[in-house]
Amino acid sequence: MNALGRHVLAEIYGCNPEVLDNPETVERILLQAAVEAGADVRQVAFHKFSPQGVSGVVVISESHLAIHTWPEYGYAAVDVFTCGDRVNPWEVCNRIVTGFDAKQVQATEMRRGVFGVSPKQVAG
């Protein structure tokens, strides 16, 4: 089935809490994952919450990477959305998991922009 994009949604557990609470480190890991997977980085925006947590987005020519962290739980919610065939979202996701020193990950892929198929066929 052809699609405009691939969207990996990852639940990442058992991460290093110090990494997840440091916006510079989180940004570096996401940027490095994107670049090493062949993505073309356009813009970045990250925010540190008080008392803890980081949210951020890396805009790439192929789409985006987004993250929200809960250091107190060692947990990160990560989205990797890529369009075209040049960048594999699973490669990006796996590099992020490694960077966070995660113990467990649950991830799924959703095809985005599937045309010519009824919604029942896509969901089923």
7 is catalytic: no
What distance in Å separates the CA atoms of residue 100 and residue 67, rounded to the nearest whole number?
A: 12
Task: Select which of 7, 15, 64, 83 is catalytic.
Answer: 83
Domains: count for the chain: 1
Model pTM? 0.91
CATH number for position 71: 3.60.90.10
Answer whether residue 106 shows pLDDT above 90: yes
Main-chain dihedrals φ then ψ at residue 72, nearest 5 degrees: -65, -20
Catalytic (active site) residue 47? no
- Asked about 83 being catalytic, the answer comes back as yes
> How many percent of the chain have pLDDT more than 70?
93
User: Looking at 15, 63, 64, 93, which residue is catalytic?
Assistant: 63
DSSP secondary structure code for residue 102 in this structure:
-
Question: Which domain does 75 fall in, by range?
Answer: 5-123
Which band of pLDDT confidence, cut at 50, 70 and 90, is reported for residue 1? Answer: low
Strand, helix or coil at 58?
Answer: strand
The 10s digit of each residue's pLDDT in 2-46 is 899 999 999 999 999 999 999 999 999 999 999 999 999 999 999
Contact residues for 66 (Cβ-Cβ < 8 A; gap 6+):
55, 56, 57, 58, 78, 79
